[in-house]
Chains A and B, each alone.
Chain A
C-alpha cells in the first residue's frame, strides 16, 4: 500500500503558474538596467573560411557605438569537450567553421545602431572548401574542419560485449537495415538572451536564458580569467530549453565582455532566425543496424554502425555518441552487442543534446527494425517486446544496473490500449484513407553522470511567519521542477505546497549544480531537497519536543501542525512552532541544507560505452494511431498513449504535461521537421518554414503509469521528462506501416515520401540531404494499396 501523502502524487498547479499567466514572469530579454547598452553579433556568411583580418575602425567610429570586440580582445578560451579539451571559441579565432559562427560583437545605445555598426565591420575571409555531410567529411583528402582531427573524426565510441559474430551464426533470423534521422531544432520559443553587468570591483552579474546556469558560471570564469566566485549568475524565468540552452554560448560571453569593455550593463538578445541557423541542433544520425533473432522472437545479437553529424564543434558530443551506442542495450535483454559510433565534424551548426539525448535516433532504428523482424517471423511485435523486456535486477552487458523497472507492465498496458483502440477507432470511410496502430518502447536515465561532480544541493530558510523558502541550483525551464521540488519540501515539513516559496537561483549563495540535463532534477535534486527539509525538521523537532515534553522521534509533521504520534491533539501549529524557535532565548535561525548524488555511479567511459550511467532508469511504451491519406500523403495522428514507469509520480498533472509535450513534439520530428541547408546555408530559418506542430496537430494523449516505486528516488520517483520523447518516432513509423504497409527508414516522413513510396519508388522525397535508405515497400496489401 502506498503511504498517504499530502503533497505527493496529486494534481497540483505549478508554483510559477500565476506569475506566468499574469504576464509578470520576467525572462532574460525582459530585463533592463540603467545605462544599459545593446549588443549584436556579426556572423560568418561562409560555412568554412579563414579569417585574414577584421577591420573594426569604421564601426567603432559610428556615433553611439561604445565597443566593438573580436577574438583579439579575448583570451581565446575554447569551450566544450567533456572528457577532453574543447575546441569552440566564443569569437572565431583563425577560422569560421559554419554559417553563423560569430566573428565580432558590438555594443551600442540601441539594437538598430548596433546592427548598423555590424555592417561597417570589414572581415577579410579566405573562403575554404566546406565539408557539409559526414560521409564526404570522412573521405580521404577532405578539407579538415579542425586541423587536429584527422578524417574529421570528432569522437569514437566502440562498445562491445558478448560475442556478436558468433551469436549471429546461431540465429534463426538476421536482418540488416539503414536508418537516417534529420537535423532538427529544439524549438523553444524564447530566443537566447543575456544581460551582463560588470562592476569595477571585479564582479560580473549575469542574467541569461540558461538551462544549466552552472555551465555558464564555470565557463564564464574561465573565459574571462576571473575567479568563479566573482561570477554571479542570477536565473530569470526560462522560455524552454529541451537541451538547447545547456551550454554557455557566444551571446553570453559577448554580453559579459562588452560590459567589461564599456563599463555599462549590456544586453544581447538574438533573433529566432539566428537561433535556427547559428545555434544548436539534434545530431542527425545514420544507423546501420543488424539484429539477430530466434524463430520464437528471442533477441540474440545487435550490431550497429552509427555515424552522427556533430557539426562544427565538439560541445558535449562525446556524451551524445556514448548514449546513442549504450541505449542499444535498453530496454530489452541483449546478450551480444556491438555498437561502433563515429561523431564527425562538418561545416554546419554544432549538434548537441536534445530531449532524449541521442537515444531517440537509435531507438527509432531499433524499434522499427524490431517490428520488421516480427512481421517477417509472423510474430506480434508487442509479444516480441514482452518476451525480451528487461527486468528488475538485470545488469546489461555494458553494466547498466536495473533496479526498479515496470517495462513489462507498460507493454501489457499498451497491449490493452491497442486492443481497445482497434475496437473504438472505426475503419476510415473513404477508401483512400488508411488507419493503423503502432507501438514502441524505451528506457532512459534519471540523471547521467558525465564528470566528477554529480551532486545537487538545496537550501531552506524558514521565514518568521512559518513560510518556507527553498533554493536549489537546478533551473526550471518549464518542466515544472520548481513545483516538484517545492512539493517534496512541503511533504517533509508537513506544510502545504502554497507555503513553500521557490527562490530564484543566485550563484552568490546557492550551491553549484551539475546542470539541468539527462532528466536528473526530480531524482537527484529532489533527494537533496528532501535532505535539506529533513535538516530543518530535525531542528524544529528539537524545539517541539521541549515544548511538548516528548522525544523528537515521536513527532509527526503534518497539515501545518507538529504533534505526538498517535495523539494528534497534543501538538502545536507549524507557524507557532517556528515563532517559538526563532524567538525563544536569544533566537534560533532555521536554515536547512542538503546535498545528494547516487553512490556507486561510474564515470562514463565514453570510448568503450561501459559503466552504469544512472541511479535509476525509467521505462515506457508508446502507442500511436494514425490515418494516412494515400492521395496526398499526409498523415494525421488520431491518438497517442503512453504507458510509463516514472516510479511514483510527484505531480500527475505535470507528468501528463511532459508526456503530452514530448509526444506532440515527436509528431513534428516524425512528419514535418527538418533543417534544410544548401551549401551550408540554412534555407528554413523561420517558424514559417521550419514546421513545428500547432494546435491543429494536437490529438488526445492518454497516459497510464505503472505501480512502481524506486528505492533510491525521492518518494520513489524517477524521471518523466525526456524518456517519453524516445519512442514516439518509431511508434508513429510503425503505425504508418500498419496503415499502408510501407516501412520508412528515414524521418521525417513527408507527404512526398509517402506518395512516392506508394507509387513504388523508394527514392523517397524526404528533404534530408545525403539521400540513402528511404522507404521500403514490403508489398502493400491488395486491399490497402493506393488506387
Chain B
C-alpha cells in the first residue's frame, strides 16, 4: 500500500506501508524506500536502544538480530526487513529478567558509557545462538565489528565467556533462544 507525503523540494514522495516484527510483536510503519531499519526502529517505533554511532556500518552500535543473525541495522533497509524476526536490545529481557548476557555484562564491569553495549550484547547473543560454547578467539572474532572505546574489550570478552558458561549449565535457557529464531530459516548473505 502506498501513501503520498509532501517532502521538501522533491514534491511528493512515496511512502510504503510495511509491517515489521520486532521483539515478537507486529508494527505497522510508513517508510520511504531508502530509510534504514535503524532509523525506522529509532524514529518511528521508539526502539532507541539501537544506537547510531556511525551510520556507515563501521561501529556496530546499531546491531540487531535479524532472524537470529547479528546485522548492522544502519546497513539494512526497513523495506527489506519485512517478514523477518527483528530483535532489539529491548526484546532480550524476558518476564522482567535480564538475559544472562545482560547480567554478565553488568556484573563483570563490561559496561562503561554503555553506548556500545546494546550492539555488543546482541552480537554476542547471535554468537551464542550459533555456537553455545565459543573459544576466546571466536568471541573476539564475533565482536570485532563492534567498537568500544571505554573498556578495552577485556571485560566484555570475560562477560561473554561467563554468560556462555552459565547458559551451558542452565537447561532452561534453550526455549527462550528458540523464540529468537523465526521462520523461515536465516538466509545466506543476510548477516555480517
Contacts and interface: CB of A to CB of B under 8 A. Distances in A.
Interface stretch (A188-196, A280-288, A460-468): A188-196
B82 to A, nearest CB: 22
B8 A698 contact: no
A25 B56 CA distance: 23
A21 B152 contact: no
A63 B186 CA distance: 43
A187 B54 CA distance: 11
Contacts of B133: none
Question: B-side binding surface: helix, strand, loop or mixed?
Answer: loop
A470 interface: no
Contacts of B52: 29, 191, 269
Question: Max chain A CB contacts within 10 Å: which of B6, B111, B121?
Answer: B111
A17 B54 contact: no
B146 A695 contact: yes
A150 interface: no
Given A272-B56, A478-B113, A23 B118 contact: yes
Contacts of B141: 695-696
Given A113-B8, A190-B115, A687-B58, A24 B151 contact: no
A16 interface: yes
A477 B109 contact: no
A13 interface: yes
Interface stretch (A215-223, A237-245, A557-565, A757-765): A237-245
A662 B114 contact: no
Contacts of B51: 27, 189-190, 239
Contacts of A271: 54-55
A62 B8 CA distance: 6
B143 A14 contact: no
A653 B109 contact: yes
B48 A26 contact: yes
Contacts of A477: 113
Contact of B103 (A21, A26, A240): A21
A480 B112 contact: yes
Contact of A14 (B10, B48, B58, B109): B109
Interface string A1-30: 000000000010110111011111111011
B46 to A, nearest CB: 9
Contact of A660 (B7, B57, B92, B154): B154
B152 A20 contact: no
Given A22-B93, A240-B150, A13 B106 contact: yes
Interface string B108-125: 110111111110010000
B68 interface: no
Contacts of A695: 139-141, 143-144, 146, 148, 153, 156-157
B54 A700 contact: no
Interface residues of B, number: 60
A657 B139 contact: no
B124 to A, nearest CB: 10
B98 A18 contact: yes
B8 to A, nearest CB: 4
Contacts of A692: 147, 149
Interface in B42-66: 42, 47-59, 61
Contacts of B88: 23
Given A13-B109, A687-B54, A22 B149 contact: no
A21 B111 contact: yes
A695 B88 CA distance: 22
B90 A23 contact: yes
B90 A22 contact: yes
B102 interface: yes
A657 B8 contact: no
Interface string B76-110: 00000000000011101100001000110111110
A480 B52 CA distance: 22
Contacts of B54: 189, 271-273, 686-687
A661 B115 contact: no
Given A13-B107, A14-B111, A21-B105, A693 B152 contact: yes
A692 B53 CA distance: 14
Given A662-B152, A695-B143, A698-B154, A272 B106 contact: no
B140 A20 contact: no
Contacts of A191: 52-53
Contacts of A22: 49, 89-90, 92-93, 98, 102
A24 B49 contact: yes
A512 B13 CA distance: 49
A16 B115 CA distance: 12
A21 B55 contact: no
Contact of B152 (A65, A113, A272, A701): A701
Nearest to B140: A695
A47 B106 CA distance: 45
A688 interface: yes
A273 B56 contact: yes
What's the interface size class on A, roughly? Answer: 35 or more
A257 B9 CA distance: 25
Nearest to A701: B154
A473 interface: no
A21 B140 contact: no
A238 B113 contact: yes
Nearest to A483: B109
A477 B114 CA distance: 9
B58 A688 contact: yes
Interface string A95-117: 00000000000001000110011
A240 B50 CA distance: 17
B155 interface: yes
Question: Max chain B CB contacts within 10 Å: which of A186, A191, A478, A654?
Answer: A478
A58 to B, nearest CB: 9
A694 B144 contact: yes
Interface in A178-215: 186-191
Contacts of A269: 52
Interface string A281-307: 000000000000000000000000000
A286 B94 CA distance: 55
A371 B58 CA distance: 38
A190 B90 contact: no
Given A272-B54, A693-B152, A701-B152, A20 B146 contact: no
Question: Max chain A CB contacts within 10 Å: which of B55, B108, B141, B154?
Answer: B154
A664 interface: yes
B109 A661 contact: no
A627 interface: no
A22 B147 CA distance: 19
B150 to A, nearest CB: 5
A269 to B, nearest CB: 8
Given A113-B7, A687-B59, A701-B154, A188 B109 contact: no
A120 to B, nearest CB: 8
A239 B113 contact: yes
Contacts of A697: 153
B152 A698 contact: yes
B56 A660 contact: no
A64 B6 CA distance: 9
Contact of A20 (B6, B61, B117): B117
A306 to B, nearest CB: 27
A277 B93 CA distance: 38
Interface in A63-118: 63-65, 108, 112-113, 116-117
A479 interface: yes
Contacts of B57: 688
Q: Which 6 pairs between the two chains have the least Cβ-Cβ distance? A: A23-B49, A478-B113, A664-B152, A20-B114, A23-B89, A239-B115
Interface of A: 11, 13-14, 16-18, 20-27, 29-30, 62-65, 108, 112-113, 116-117, 120, 186-191, 237-240, 242, 269, 271-273, 477-480, 653-654, 656-657, 660-665, 686-688, 692-698, 700-701
Given A23-B49, A113-B8, 10 more contacts: A22-B92, A29-B52, A62-B9, A113-B7, A271-B55, A660-B155, A664-B151, A686-B58, A692-B147, A698-B140
8 contacts: A30-B42, A30-B48, A64-B8, A237-B113, A237-B114, A239-B115, A240-B150, A477-B113
